[in-house]
Amino acid sequence: MGALTGLSQILSGLALVGFVGVTLWLLLRPRERMAALMPAPRGLMLAAAATALWCGAITIFSPGSSQSLVVQTLRDLAMLSWLSATFWSPRAPMSRPLRLILRMLGTICLITLLLGAAAHLRAGAAAEPWMTPTLTFAAMVVAVGGLLIIDGGVRHASAGQRMPVMAVAAGFAMLWAYEVNVQLIGALTGEEAKTLTALLPAVVLLTLPVYIVAAMDIGRERMRLSRTAAMRTLILLGAAAYLIVIALTGAVARAVGGDYAELAQGISLLVALGTGGLMLASARSRAWLSVMISKHFFEHRYDYRAEWMRFTATLGQGDGEDDRNLHRRVAKALAELTGSPGALLMLPGPMGGFRIAEQWHWPAGPEGEATLSLRSAFMLQETRHIVDLDAERRGRPSEDLAIPDWLIADTRAWVVVPVLHFHRMIAIVVLHRPAVSRALDWEDLDVLRIAGQQAASYLAESQSQQALSEARRFDEFNRRFAFIMHDIKNLASQFGLLARNAERHADKPDFRADMIETLKNSAGRLSDLLVRLSPRERGPSSDAGRALVEPVLNAIAVEMRPRRALFVGCQAGLSAWADAGAIRQIVQHLVTNAIDASDAGTSVQVVAVAEHGRVRIDVIDQGSGMTRDFIRDELFKPFVSTKDSGFGLGAFEALQIAQAAGGAIDVASEPGKGSSFTLWLPLADARSDFDGDARVMKVGHK
- On whether the 545-689 domain is CATH 3.40.50.970, my answer is no
pLDDT of residue 220: 43
546-583 pLDDT, tens digit per residue, is 899 999 999 888 777 767 888 999 999 999 999 888 89
Fold type of domain 307-464:
Beta-Lactamase (3.30.450)
CATH 3.30.530 holds for 2-223: no
Residues 466-499 have pLDDT tens digits of 888 777 777 766 755 654 554 565 556 556 655 6
**Helix ranges restricted to H, 190-303:** 194-198, 200-215, 227-256, 260-281, 283-297
Higher pLDDT, 261 or 449: 449
Strands (E), 539-613: 545-548, 566-570, 575-578, 604-611
pLDDT value, residue 503: 63
Angle between helices 163-189 and 66-87 (to 10 degrees): 140
Reply yes or no on whether the pLDDT at 320 is more than 60. no
- Over 70: is that where the pLDDT of 94 sits? yes
Distance CA 342, CA 335 (A): 6
Task: Judge whether residue 615 has pLDDT over 90.
Answer: yes
Q: What phi-psi label fits residue 342: left (phi over 0), alpha (psi between -120 and 50 degrees) or beta?
A: beta
Do the beta carbons of residue 415 and residue 386 sit within 8 Å?
yes
What Rg do the C-alpha atoms of the chain give, in angstroms?
41
Q: Could you report the per-residue pLDDT of 345-356, keeping only the tens digit for each?
A: 988 877 667 888
